[in-house]
Amino acid sequence: MSSADTARADPGSRSAFAGSTNDLAADTPTSRLDRALQWVPRILASKPHVIALMGLGLYLIVLPLLGVVVTAKAELIGGNYTNVTSDIGACIAAGGTLHLISQDRKRRRMDEERLTLVRETHRLLHHLYADTARELGHAGGLIQRAARPPADPGSGTGGGSGTGGGSEAGPGAGST
């Protein structure tokens, strides 16, 4: 039973209130709040925001070290060095997260294209070599596993899948 199932089974549980911790946000936001929150990492990782925080860091951290007096009101509004450095760290983390998300989406698209290509190649091979596919136990695009011999543990092949390259899977193979 997953944590989401547990939360549904026990509506008073803490995870029912907060939601699942391993559930990712949808690629397309559904509510206005989700659409607004989707912009937060982009804003945090933007170059103007990082430059503004670095300027604030210079003003609140470097200038006092050089002897320039920064007023208490400026520190109250701008924060102190821990606030500024943690904000810059949040910008770096947001940018890294955005990069990972975009790379994952690209990888997912490439995997889908690769899977489509493999399926199409498989379909074409079955069309071109229908007689041989039937002899190997493939009928109508489905593998008849019961008709295939068990895999030989010493050969390293998957039970005559035809990937070994020679004519061993063809008709009349092995007759001496």
Question: Cα–Cα distances in Å, from 32 out to 17, 29, 36, 45, 173?
Answer: 20, 8, 6, 21, 66
Q: How many domains does the chain have?
A: 1
- The whole-angstrom separation of Cα 1 and Cα 100 is 29
Look at 63-67, 117-121, 128-132, 141-145 and tell me which has the smallest mean pLDDT. Answer: 141-145
Question: Does 151 score more than 80 pLDDT?
Answer: no
For residue 25, tell me if it sits in a domain.
no
Domain around 91: 39-147
> Which amino acid, residue 33?
L
> Which amino acid, residue 95?
G
What is residue 12's predicted lDDT score, i.e. its pLDDT?
54
Cβ neighbours for 28, distance < 8 A, ≥ 6 positions apart:
none
For residue 100, tell me if it sits in a domain.
yes
- The whole-angstrom separation of Cα 119 and Cα 126 is 11
> Which amino acid, residue 2?
S
The mean pLDDT value of the chain amounts to 74
Hey, which of 10-24, 50-64, 159-173 has the most confident mean pLDDT? 50-64
DSSP 8-class letter at 139:
E
For residue 160, tell me if it sits in a domain.
no
What is residue 158's predicted lDDT score, i.e. its pLDDT?
47
- The whole-angstrom separation of Cα 107 and Cα 112 is 9
pTM: 0.48
Question: Does 164 score more than 50 pLDDT?
Answer: no
